[in-house]
Amino acid sequence: MGPLRWLPLLGQLLLLWPPAARPAGPIRAFVVPHSHMDVGWVYTVQESMRAYAANVYTTVVAELVRKEQRRFIAVEQEFFRLWWDGVASEQQKQQVRQLLDEGRLEFVLGGQVMHDEAVTHLDDQILQLTEGHGFLYETFGIRPRFSWHVDPFGASATTPTLFALAGFNAHLISRIDYDLKDAMQEAQDGRVLVPAAFTGISICDEVALEGLQFVWHGSPSLSAEQQEIFTHVMDHYSYCTPSHVPFSNRSGFYWNGVAVFPEPPPDGVYPNMSEPVTVANIHLYAEVLVANVKQRAAWFRTPHVLWPWGCDKQFFNASVQFDNMDPLMEYINNRTAQFGISVQYATLNDYFQALHDSNVTWDIRDHHDFLPYSSEPQQAWTGFYTSRSILKGLARQASALLYAGESMFTRYMWPDPRGTLDPTWALQQLRQLRWAVSEVQHHDAITGTESPKVKNMYTEHLRMGMLGVRKLMASIALHGPPVPDTATDGKRKISTVASSKEVNKFQMAYSNLLRANMDGYTRPVGYSASVYNPLAWKITTIITLTVAFPSVSVTDELGHPVSAQIQNSTKDPSAYELLILTTIPGLSYRHYQVRHARGDQAGTGELVAPRANTLKFSLKLRNQNTQEGKLLVPVTNDCYTLLFDQDTNMLHSVQDRQSNHTVHVTQEFLEYQANGDVKQGPISDNYLFAPNDTAEPSWEAVGMEMVAGALATDIRQYFYRNITDQDYIYSIHTRLAHVHPSLGGELLCQRIEQQYRVGPLDLNREAILRTSSDLNNQQVLYSDNNGYQMQQRPYKAFKRNPIPRNYYPMVQSAFIEDDKSRLVLLAERAHGVSSQENGQVEVMLHRRLWNNLAWDLKYNLTLNDTSVVHAGLWLLLGPKSTMTALRPRSGLALQHRPVVLLKELADEETPVHI
């Protein structure tokens, strides 16, 4: 749920409009009772269950049983499953089954949540949909046939594709750009004047445009019969019943009032309860409802009007709701000739069946999405693409770990389990993380638009689920199937299940890894590292461990030395980073032993990992006069040459060695300043991005050091807000691996890995990384829909709010290109991305905001995020043909990196030969 503060005013204005010409024939109003229940947002799931969610299902079921003309649609499954498993009686469960059989209760959408469409990954959309649909099929033997995606902040083309492939018959959305929705409402004749920003041609163009109902072909790569779906866009009233009633300053058609947290009021009296329907006022209620139905009817091609009855947290007292609506609907139906409409309770099946029976030929919409979303001229909902970046990163990490855990467990169990691992316990660990990852896909979760306590709830659920799956994977890695023959000499060892003590050693290794220099802590002699590859193909990559000693030997399962590199840690000055080169077959794992070497190679016979050399450069001011490009330091592997300018400590250019083409590339951090006072103009918040002006550089000086080793060279740049500061505010750690592509290291060689540190930010700042190049992209950006397919994003010259309205979500990848080269960015979490100038691509990395908007203050939605964000991107550069093939595989390699399971070694432990 997002702010709906504009609805009451809009309702008043629309009621004053002259009635439009309605479609020919009698108007049928399909009144669809529903309750919008956010899985989180302002209150936690448990608070919502206590305050209203459980009562919705308890009272709705009771009221549907009372009168057979009543209907209700149930949407998200998390609350329903909690009610079903923990609240519902056997009698209520039987009543639900009967209502479903009779079609009077209908599950629509049916996912665990109503997922966000802008910043969720396709894998996670499928997961949460499967989680909800699986429950419905196992419990009732049914599957939903219609979507109800009314509250996500913009509409992705991935969602209709997914829903079509999932067997949905129709798709329903609501939040699309206000300008475009205005135009679509007037587009019944197929041609309409569309604002120039949506056409890119002139100030206003008469173009063909589908209306609010069309058939959407969401994917250009699939056949129409696979992925086309009828789509209904809700009109300007959104999914809520108009709340304004002229004769009552309460809440219109919501007779049960507003939910009270955390516990319902003991006297049953709720605030803002609407005036009951009486003989004295029923004609007034009827006139308002009829006028609204007629107004909506003018925006659609058939005389069938979907009239949603409900809003957030409604129907927690369903008896009050139905007991007031029943006589009102009867009153209207008894005067159909006078009013010109009939009304009936309906499910989505009832409504869409009526549309189908009308035999209308609908317009076709292609694969373009409805992003970004603006609700008003100065309210571009593009800030949430980046809000709460840490939660976005954790959600993706949890998703990747779940995938790894499920594939490892499947490999352990098939074709028959080895050892005595309890499958029931294992499935419980996976199920807990499946629930948590599904939950956080909610449109007020991964979006970062929730209150702090709800963010903490999501985080806790994810971390607990991840802990359980790590325990499962550790148990399998200790005593699971043997490593494949390609990693051994054919010897095999089958063991029994790992003990709890052994599994706990894996978990303790993470918390103890950096404690070696603490008083009273016994330094371990080393670690056992089990490294699992969750991808289906063999990979060659570098894993990085943090160790407490500078002299290290690394051996594999057979005791053979392994290529490695040791260097100073960027996280802890008393620790070291150990880089290990590993090659792992698909869905397999390797075991390594990392030991503290007691002497040098000559004295002990151990092969000690070589120490990387560190070269430090003096601090450079941002605006100092230099001869740019005169003192360039190259960093080279077989795929790229990176050139860094000693006079500026900045990246200067990147050469793609395959094509021998050099692109000038620079990177720096900038900040947008946001207004925090609503009296001074538009504000940025969790949802909205409303900068005061263009972004400004946020640093005064930059330091640089290069750490060169046999496996990789790291370039570390540190950006200081002021030259006198002791601590840097931003950093870029760039890694170029020295692995020949012909040795299985193609993907590793052809990527430039970057890690960023951002924060803590000053108040009301929004931080971006801007990469500027000499590519002639003409401000055309490509960014992905949910890690699935790319969308072209030409810069649109909006007269109002052009900067935020040209921001788009980057879930996994984005690129700019010209006729020679393509520069690709791959992300391990969602960000906002834009091309504001030719050759530029900027990625928003972090936001810290506070404002005095009453809405945000009331619900603690001010996003005063003081955290430090550690985000990462991989950069790829080369000809279009090469990048087209490389981008998808590299994106998977970033999303599903090897999982490392550590265990401390005791002195007496020796290498394990498998």
Active site residues: 151
Element (H, E) at 47: helix 45-48
Other beta carbons within 10 angstroms of residue 488's beta carbon come to 18
Quick check: helix, strand or coil at residue 140?
helix
Yes or no: say if 71 and 106 are a contact pair by the CB < 8 Å rule: yes
The DSSP output letter for 241 is P
Question: How many whole angstroms separate alpha carbon 214 and alpha carbon 7?
Answer: 25
**831 closest CA partner among 216, 233, 119:** 119
Alpha-carbon gap, residue 220 to 787, rounded angstroms? 15
796 Cβ contact partners less than 8 Å away, ≥ 6 residues apart: 197, 198, 200, 802, 805, 806
Q: Residues for the chain: how many in total?
A: 914
Whole-number Cα distances in Å, 628 to 478, 660, 669: 55, 22, 19
- Is the CA virtual torsion 622, 626, 628, 634 positive or negative? negative
Beta carbons of 473 and 904 less than 8 angstroms apart? no
- Cα–Cα distance between 202 and 507 in angstroms, integer? 62
The CA dihedral of 242, 243, 245, 246, to the nearest 10 degrees, is -100
Cα 158 to Cα 790: distance, rounded to the nearest angstrom: 10
Angle at 23 between CA 19 and CA 27, to 5 degrees: 90
Side chain identity, residue 889: R
Residue 10 to residue 244: CA distance in whole angstroms: 9
| Buried residues in 515-544 as b, exposed as e (16+ CB within 10 A) | ebeeeeeeebbbbbbbbbbbbeeebbbbbe
Residue 578 · residue 609 · CB < 8 Å: yes
**CA 74 remoteness from chain centre:** 24
Name, in order, each residue with C-beta under 8 angstroms of 672's C-beta and a sequence gap of 6 or more: 684, 689, 691, 692, 693, 694, 695, 765, 766, 768, 803
The backbone region for 629, taken as left when phi is positive above 0, alpha when psi lies in -120 to 50, beta otherwise, is left
User: Which run of H or of E encompasses 847?
Assistant: strand 840-848
Nearest residue to 446 via CA among 115, 685, 767, 760? 115
264: how many CB neighbours lie within 10 A of its CB? 16
Question: Of 104, 174, 162, 156, which Cα lies nearest the Cα of 133?
Answer: 162
306 phi and psi angles, rounded to 5 deg: -85, 115
| SS3 assignment for 563-627 | CEEEEECCCCCCCEEEEEEEEECCCEEEEEEEEECCCCHHHHCCCECCECEEEEEEEEECCCCCC
Residues ≥6 apart with Cβ < 8 Å to 889: 747
Whether the Cβ atoms of residue 418 and residue 485 lie closer than 8 Å to each other: no
Can you point out the beta strands (E) in 85-174? 105-107, 170-173
Q: What is the Cα gyration radius of the chain?
A: 30
CB 789 within 8 A of CB 778: no
Q: Which residue, among 127, 826, 892, has the nearest Cα to 536 in the 3D structure?
A: 892
Q: Is 496 exposed, middle or buried (0-12, 13-18, 19+ CB in 10 A)?
A: exposed
